[in-house]
Amino acid sequence: ARQYTTHSQLPSEHQMVYEMCRKFADEELAPHAGKWDKEHSFPREAVDKLNRLNLFRVACIMMNEYRRISTNVSTQSRNESRDDVIKVIAELGLMGINVSSDHNGSELDALSYAIAMEEISRGCASVGVIMSAHNSLYLYPIDTFGSEELKQQFVAPYTGHERNEKGELNIGCFGLSEPGNGSDAGAASTTAKDDGDEWIINGTKAWITNAHEAGAAIVFATTDKSLKHKGISAFVVPTNSAGFSLGAKEDKLGIRASSTANLIMDNVRIPKSNLIGELGQGFKIAMQTLDGGRIGVAGQALGIASASIDCAVRYSLERKAFGKPISELQSIQNMISKMVVARDSARLLTWRAAQLKDNKERFTREAAMAKLAASEAATMCAHQAIQILGGMGYVSDMPAERHYRDARITEIYEGTSEIQHLVIAGDVLKEYKQ
């Protein structure tokens, strides 16, 4: 299959996702992102809108596309194109982006997800992580490995069409890390005990994104610690279960509008049927989930890199020093060039990983490479953006300092950069040993 390298080469559906998310980010996220960051406030309205992204604007974009397609086609195919257009509009929704339409999802592919994550995160990196934790870490494992009963209960109502008793959109979270182990995910100490018709879960999950908003959590727990990673299973735990509580929200350097907190489980009883997949399959479910999740974080990092580039380049054209715009100074041009090269190379890696996933080929190494390169691009671009802005880069009047703070997490979560190197090198060495 063809590997896309520029937005203009993308198929029309992907271009539409790009345009739609880009406009939404410019108009509804970027103007408020600074305030959400300062107030540490969960951007509930914006997250709500992720699912009904101003259909009028989407319709306009689609109708332009329809007009373009329909100039040279017969009446019959014109009507078919129009129907396709309406179908796509009706199905758009970013809080169930990869879920099948049978379970109320948008049924878009991994490439669309990567594109959407970049554009949304360009507007607000906190909204980006809220969206990615929900889609690739919560919905994906249930949708891929769960029973039909679990999908009906914990996927279909979580794709942006149903609300909880407080009238808020249903959101999910993913609990793998623990206070005692993050990188060493196979060392999980949260336990699941078989008790007839129920599992009893005990333990604490640490650093969980969306913890304070989630109606349900994926929890990885061991039924037999002596089996190490083979003893781990994946469960869905409703957050209103007796014995389930939350830690305080972490006070973070960046992505401050998303909540991060401990999930504390004290003899939480869940039905037997809340096991995802097979007993002992949990570690592999976690690893496969993270392979896809790393494409999402790569997209988030690309968005932060792009926001930094936008801010720095625009400023360099306006700001004058020694009688001319600083954009005319070679030092500034070198920085701009380095930023764009890093961002674009990371985007190629990200789209490659997404397309491999869409083609159902192996993509573990490629997703790790994309996440590694994109997170390094994000931190470098945000760093250079502050340099280009000088003093203005260091104060919160401009978004550069927020991008700098937001970028840093992309080198830590969903596997630190050291873990990505371990995954990449491990796969390369395996290839050479064969």
Active site residues: 414
Q: Give strand pairing partners of 238.
A: 216
260 binds, among ligand CAA, ligand FAD, none (CB under 5 to 8 A by kind): ligand FAD
Q: Alpha-carbon Rg of the chain, whole angstroms?
A: 22
The phi-psi region of residue 101 (left if phi > 0; otherwise alpha if psi is between -120 and 50; otherwise beta) is alpha
Q: Which of 3, 152, 183, 240 binds ligand CAA (CB under 6 A)?
A: 183
Q: How far is the CB of 26 from ligand CAA (least distance, A)?
A: 24
| Tokens of residue 239, six digits | 């957050």
Based on CB atoms, which residue is closest to ligand CAA, 145 or 174?
A: 174
Taking the C-alpha atoms of residue 142 and residue 292, their distance in angstroms, rounded to an integer, is 14
Taking the C-alpha atoms of residue 338 and residue 377, their distance in angstroms, rounded to an integer, is 9
Told to check if 416 binds ligand FAD by CB under 6 A, we report: yes
CA triplet 244, 249, 254: central angle to 5 degrees? 140
Taking the C-alpha atoms of residue 257 and residue 244, their distance in angstroms, rounded to an integer, is 23
Stretch that binds ligand CAA, among 42-50, 108-116, 181-189, 264-272 (CB under 6 A): 181-189
Q: How far is the CB of 19 from ligand CAA (least distance, A)?
A: 26
Of residues 152, 126, 161, the one with CA closest to residue 236: 152
Q: Which of 94, 217, 419, 424 binds ligand CAA (CB under 6 A)?
A: 419
Told to check if 414 binds ligand CAA by CB under 6 A, we report: yes
DSSP string of 350-391? HHHHHHHHHTT---HHHHHHHHHHHHHHHHHHHHHHHHHHGG
Q: Which of 17, 97, 176, 265 binds ligand FAD (CB under 6 A)?
A: 176
284 binds, among ligand FAD, ligand CAA, none (CB under 5 to 8 A by kind): ligand CAA
397 binds, among ligand FAD, ligand CAA, none (CB under 5 to 8 A by kind): none
Taking the C-alpha atoms of residue 87 and residue 83, their distance in angstroms, rounded to an integer, is 6
Told to check if 423 binds ligand CAA by CB under 6 A, we report: yes
288 binds, among ligand FAD, ligand CAA, none (CB under 5 to 8 A by kind): ligand CAA
Told to check if 209 binds ligand FAD by CB under 6 A, we report: yes
Site residues for ligand CAA, 107-146, by CB under 6 A, read 129, 133, 137
Going from the C-alpha of 176 to that of each of 155, 279, 363, 391, 414, the distances in angstroms are 19, 16, 21, 40, 10
Taking the C-alpha atoms of residue 194 and residue 83, their distance in angstroms, rounded to an integer, is 51
Q: How far is the CB of 299 from ligand FAD (least distance, A)?
A: 16
What is the total residue count of the chain?
Answer: 434
Helix and strand tally (H, E) in the chain?
Answer: 14, 10
Q: How far is the CB of 280 from ligand CAA (least distance, A)?
A: 10
Q: How far is the CB of 91 from ligand CAA (least distance, A)?
A: 26
Told to check if 174 binds ligand FAD by CB under 6 A, we report: yes
- The residue sitting closest to ligand FAD, measured at its beta carbon, is 182
Phi, psi angle pair for 277, to nearest 5°: 70, -145
Q: How far is the CB of 379 from ligand FAD (least distance, A)?
A: 14
252 binds, among ligand FAD, ligand CAA, none (CB under 5 to 8 A by kind): ligand FAD
Told to check if 244 binds ligand FAD by CB under 6 A, we report: no
List residues near ligand FAD by CB under 6 A. 133, 173-177, 182-183, 207-209, 252, 260, 409, 412-413, 415-416, 418-419, 422
